[in-house]
Amino acid sequence: MKTTGMVRRIDDLGRIVIPKEIRKQLMLKEGESVSFAVEHNHIVLTKFSILHKLSPTIQILLERLYSKYHNTFLLCDKRCIVVCSSDGLAKYQRRDLTKDFLLLLDQKEQHIETTMEFYGKQEQVTIYPLLCEQEIQGALIMLSHQTPYYLMDQTLLDFVKDIIEEEIESCV
């Protein structure tokens, strides 16, 4: 674990101010949530993502999509890949998103089809941004390996995206 050398005091209500540099690095904004964990006598703060809470349910959906289309399906928040279909677990799970990917996500398109370098390999990528209260929370991502996007059931993919968005809204 890397130390910053920054020291803060705990006030009488148990509050600690997270230094601006760290908030900026983690893209933490006022009103956002952080989760706490204890590891070997260290307090670990992590930017909270509702998608981490939904991951067991979403894992089942992604596995069903994989078994139907034989493409890799991923779910990401605005920081990293949270859940993968089983064929992508070792390669993508918990990987941080690239700046290029985040720029695509910020376009707020209904869905984005592109060929891009995705973790060292040229991939045909389809991105479905996930919205909650008009804010992007993450994305459903498909890497086309066997079934091209144009041969897929668009209604089914939209349905899965809608289910994920409804789950996000119910948890907020």
The CATH architecture to which 1-48 belongs is Ribbon (2.10)
Using alpha carbons, select from 156, 132, 145 the residue that is nearest to residue 54.
132
Give the torsion through C-alpha atoms of 66, 67, 70, 73, to 10 deg: 0
The residue with greater pLDDT, 113 or 53, is: 113
Residue range(s) of every CATH 3.30.450.40 domain in the chain: 50-171
Residue range(s) of every CATH 2.10.260.10 domain in the chain: 1-48
Domain 50-171: CATH superfamily, name plus number = GAF domain (3.30.450.40)
What backbone phi and psi angles, to 5 degrees, belong to 30?
-55, 135
Handedness of CA 144, 146, 148, 152 (dihedral sign): negative
> What's the pTM value of the predicted model, to 2 decimals?
0.71
pLDDT tens digits, 22-65: 888 777 778 777 878 888 888 888 777 677 677 677 888 899 99
Provide the terminal-to-terminal Cα distance of the chain, rounded to the nearest Å. Answer: 31
| CA 81/CA 61 separation, integer angstroms | 16
What confidence tier does 1 reach under pLDDT thresholds 50, 70, 90? low
